[in-house]
Amino acid sequence: MAPSMSKEIYSPAKTEREAIPGFPTSSTLETNEQIRRFELLRLAFFGLKLRKLDQRLSDEMVVAQMPEALRGELDFRRNLLRHAIFQQMVALIQLDAREQALQIIAACQRSPSSSDSSA
pLDDT tens digits along 64-109: 888 888 888 999 999 999 999 999 999 999 999 999 999 999 999 8
Which pLDDT score is estimated for 56? 84
Vertex 93: Cα angle to 48 and 23 (nearest 5): 70
* pLDDT tier for residue 10 given thresholds of 50, 70 and 90: very low
Domain boundaries, the chain: 31-110
Burial degree of 105 (CB within 10 A; 0-12, 13-18, 19+): middle
Q: Are 109 and 54 in contact (CB under 8 A)?
A: no
Which pLDDT score is estimated for 108? 92
Q: What is the pLDDT of residues 11-36, one digit of tens each?
A: 445 545 555 666 666 778 888 999 99
Residue 119 has pLDDT above 70, yes or no: no
* Whole-model pTM over 0.75: no
| Higher per-residue pLDDT: 10 or 69 | 69
